[in-house]
């Protein structure tokens, strides 16, 4: 979207008003009100505008008129560095310098003012209101698209910058840097949006998962189901508790394949039950036999295996890897991941968990506000069905912080209090530590950013969904491309827009050459990562995830992505597929 810095004269044309200039100046401001362009004003302009307006109006009326008329404009604050740069500039007028420097810092496209002669040497083009409107109507303001970024966080500034700036200033002024009122506000609002009773703001999504497992008592001797197609943080949380991650392949929606989960749970349960029966039989024999002989026999029976496992454990410890698995730990928990913003099949997962007495922790780190329709036809937000829902607010997420942050949601009061204690060294009352915890607290600045952004999350989510529909429309049915599917009865929020391509690497290279950024999420499934070599998996163990890893490509996706940018991306995709070289390759095949 075009960014315009509006001059003082333009504002006064409207507020005083100045009849001969009013129409063009009002038309520019109206574009800002309609969100057709981003309107900005320099912070130093307000005093001047107020000075002139208060000559004609009383103080209260003057202030109200300024606030009401300029509500769609965002303010570029005058910072110390801005003043310093303006003083150093060779431009003869300091106030004009200040506006030029401010415009540069905020990547403004045009300065709109009747005094264009003041900006002859400005690196940012200055246009009169009439010139600006003429260009806008003729379409000449819009720059030709030659590139599309994968993510553009700067495009959110117009909506959120000033409130976040005010909140951060408040934090610095009052030196409340950890937790505090901004985090409290975020927790209350996020719990409400997700439909949960409780929310705990923490230091990252990874930490949220770790806290959830600790609060549930997951530890050594437990095995936890984890999708093999996910970011490593999901599995790391299991390892950090001393438990064993058990990988499961994905379905065509990139989430846990529930039937394969059932197969693994049933096989583990059978193995555990078999060992228990053997133990019971041996116990009965020991009552009537020679116990010492029995023990010696048992030692000789398991000695070789123990030596083998112990030796491997020692090797793994020296190499910094996890403990060797003997595939004997009982499954006690499932972590379904709502990958890319697509809800997992929670009805079936919860039914399976209830059947086998398993705990469930939902990884919603990519799925803020995603929902699924329960079997009783009610909509349920992800993260609120299992014992906990874990969320990440990494800056690029649908709801992103200005650094690392995460959260847990739960409807269980006891688990809420346990997790809250773990977040802060096991305490609720200062210096009274009831459990062993850690420092997982959210910073106040992240709470402030997130509390501000929450106001826009629903709007941003709908825009992501609109962008996904346009991608589907433009790429659906294109030979060599597979667009994402949505599980029936789900509301996907499209943290990422993932396609599959027959020649993924060739397409990604071509898009890069044409200025289109893309990503791979994820190119290597977890079972083939060096960190998990100790689990003993090999290529072919998880064929669906492995096939997807060689074909998936993430295209640009964010709320501010414009239709013409999406069309540019899709045109380049089609261009690659129908290029002469590609046609020859297809004929050869």
Whether 303 shows a pLDDT value over 60: the answer reads: no
Q: What DSSP string describes 281-343?
A: HHHHHHHHS-HHHHHHHHHHHHHHHHHHHHHHHHHHHHTT-PPPP-S-SPEEEE--B-GGGPP
pLDDT at residue 47 in the model: 87
Whether 293 shows a pLDDT value over 80: the answer reads: no
- For residue 198, give both structure tokens: 């409780």
Give 360's strand partners: 334
pLDDT band with cut points at 50, 70 and 90 for residue 272: low
The pLDDT > 90 percentage for the chain reads 68
- Sequence ranges of the domains in the chain: 3-143, 456-588
Q: Are 442 and 202 in contact (CB under 8 A)?
A: yes
The yes-or-no answer to whether 3-143 and 456-588 have a common fold is no
pLDDT at residue 582 in the model: 60
pLDDT at residue 296 in the model: 38
- Residue 483 half-sphere exposure, CB side, CA atoms within 13 Å? 16
pLDDT (mean) for 269-277 = 63
pTM of the model: 0.86
Higher local confidence (pLDDT), 414 or 583: 414
pLDDT at residue 301 in the model: 42
Whether 494 shows a pLDDT value over 80: the answer reads: yes
Q: Are 213 and 241 in contact (CB under 8 A)?
A: yes
C-beta atoms surrounding 318 within 10 Å: 8
pLDDT at residue 93 in the model: 79
pLDDT (mean) for 8-13 = 91
pLDDT band with cut points at 50, 70 and 90 for residue 32: very high
- For residue 137, give both structure tokens: 């109507």
Q: How far apart are CA 136 and CA 11, in angstroms?
A: 19
End-to-end CA distance of the chain: 44
Beta strand pairing call for 388-392 and 406-410: antiparallel
Whether 148 shows a pLDDT value over 50: the answer reads: yes
pLDDT band with cut points at 50, 70 and 90 for residue 141: confident
CATH fold of 456-588:
3.90.1150
Q: Kindly report, residue by residue over 153-171, the tens digit of the pLDDT.
A: 988 888 899 999 999 999 9
Give the CATH number of domain 3-143.
3.40.50.1010
Q: How far is CA 177 from CA 343, 438, 445, in A?
A: 34, 18, 7
pLDDT band with cut points at 50, 70 and 90 for residue 277: low
Q: Kindly report, residue by residue over 419-431, the tens digit of the pLDDT.
A: 999 999 989 888 8
Give 552's strand partners: 500
> How would you classify residue 399: left for phi > 0, otherwise alpha for psi between -120 and 50, otherwise beta?
beta
Q: If you average pLDDT over every residue of the chain, what do you get?
A: 88
3-state secondary structure of 551: coil
pLDDT at residue 295 in the model: 34
Whether 322 shows a pLDDT value over 80: the answer reads: no
pLDDT band with cut points at 50, 70 and 90 for residue 254: very high
Higher local confidence (pLDDT), 154 or 461: 461
pLDDT at residue 53 in the model: 84
Least confident of 160-164, 255-259, 282-286, 451-455: 282-286
pLDDT band with cut points at 50, 70 and 90 for residue 481: very high
Q: Kindly report, residue by residue over 177-223, the tens digit of the pLDDT.
A: 999 999 999 999 999 999 999 999 999 999 999 999 999 999 999 99
Whether 281 shows a pLDDT value over 90: the answer reads: no
pLDDT at residue 543 in the model: 96
Whether 315 shows a pLDDT value over 60: the answer reads: no
Largest CA distance in the chain: 111
Q: Kindly report, residue by residue over 34-61, the tens digit of the pLDDT.
A: 989 999 999 888 888 888 888 888 888 8
Q: Kindly report, residue by residue over 548-579, the tens digit of the pLDDT.
A: 999 999 999 999 999 999 999 999 999 999 87
Whether 140 shows a pLDDT value over 70: the answer reads: yes
pLDDT (mean) for 426-440 = 90
Whether 284 shows a pLDDT value over 80: the answer reads: no
CA torsion sign, 287 to 289 to 293 to 298? negative
């Amino acid at each position: 979207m075009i960014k315009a810095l509006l001059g003082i004269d333009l504002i006064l044309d409207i507020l005083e008003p100045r009849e001969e200039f009013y129409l063009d100046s009002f038309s520019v401001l109206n574009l800002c009100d309609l969100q057709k362009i981003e309107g900005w004003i320099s912070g130093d302009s307000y005093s001047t505008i107020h000075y002139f307006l208060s000559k004609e109006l009383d103080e209260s009326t003057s202030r109200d008129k300024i606030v009401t008329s300029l509500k769609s404009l965002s303010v570029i604050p005058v910072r110390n560095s801005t003043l310093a740069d303006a003083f150093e500039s060779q431009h003869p007028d300091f106030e004009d310098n200040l506006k030029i420097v401010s415009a540069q810092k905020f990547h403004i496209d045009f300065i709109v003012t009747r005094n264009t002669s003041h900006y002859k040497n400005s690196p940012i083009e200055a246009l009169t209101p009439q010139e600006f409107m003429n260009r806008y109507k003729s379409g000449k303001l819009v720059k030709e698209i030659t590139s599309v970024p994968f993510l553009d966080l700067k495009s959110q500034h117009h909506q959120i910058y000033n409130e976040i700036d005010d909140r951060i200033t408040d934090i610095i002024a009052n030196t409340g840097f950890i937790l505090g009122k901004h985090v409290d506000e975020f927790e209350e609002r996020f719990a409400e949006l997700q439909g949960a009773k409780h929310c705990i703001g923490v230091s990252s999504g990874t930490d949220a998962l770790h806290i959830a497992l600790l609060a549930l008592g997951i530890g050594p001797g437990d095995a936890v189901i984890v999708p093999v197609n996910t970011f490593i943080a999901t599995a790391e949380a299991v390892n950090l508790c001393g438990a064993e991650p058990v990988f499961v392949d994905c379905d065509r929606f990139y989430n846990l394949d529930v039937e394969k989960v059932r197969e693994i749970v049933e096989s583990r349960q059978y193995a555990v039950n078999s060992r228990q029966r053997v133990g019971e039989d041996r116990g009965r024999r020991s009552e009537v036999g020679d116990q010492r002989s029995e023990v010696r026999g048992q030692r000789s029976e398991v000695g070789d295996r123990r030596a083998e496992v112990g030796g491997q454990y020692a090797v793994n410890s020296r190499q910094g890897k996890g403990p060797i698995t003997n595939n004997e730990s009982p499954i006690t928990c499932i972590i379904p991941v709502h990958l890319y913003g697509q809800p997992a099949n929670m009805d079936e997962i919860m039914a399976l968990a209830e059947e086998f007495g398993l705990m469930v922790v939902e990884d919603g780190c990519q799925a803020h506000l995603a929902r699924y329709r329960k079997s009783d036809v009610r909509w349920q937000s992800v993260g609120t069905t299992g014992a906990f829902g874990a969320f990440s607010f990494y800056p690029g997420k649908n709801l992103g912080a200005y650094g690392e942050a995460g959260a847990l949601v739960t409807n269980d009061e006891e688990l809420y209090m346990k997790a809250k204690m773990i977040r802060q060294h096991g305490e609720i009352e200062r210096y009274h530590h009831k459990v062993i915890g850690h420092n997982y607290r959210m910073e106040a600045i992240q709470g402030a950013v997130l509390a501000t952004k929450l106001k826009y999350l629903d709007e941003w989510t709908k825009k992501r969904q609109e962008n996904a529909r346009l991608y589907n429309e433009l790429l659906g049915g294109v030979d060599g491309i597979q667009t994402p599917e949505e599980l029936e009865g789900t509301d996907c929020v499209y943290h990422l827009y993932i396609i599959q391509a027959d020649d993924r690497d060739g397409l990604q290279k071509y898009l890069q050459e044409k200025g289109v950024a893309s990503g791979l999420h994820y190119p290597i499934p977890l079972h083939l990562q060096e960190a998990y070599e100790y689990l003993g998996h090999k290529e072919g163990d998880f064929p669906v995830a492995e096939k997807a890893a060689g074909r998936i490509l993430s295209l640009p996706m964010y709320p501010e992505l414009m239709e013409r940018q999406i069309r540019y991306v899709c045109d380049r995709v089609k261009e690659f597929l129908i290029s002469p070289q590609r046609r020859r390759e297809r004929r050869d095949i």
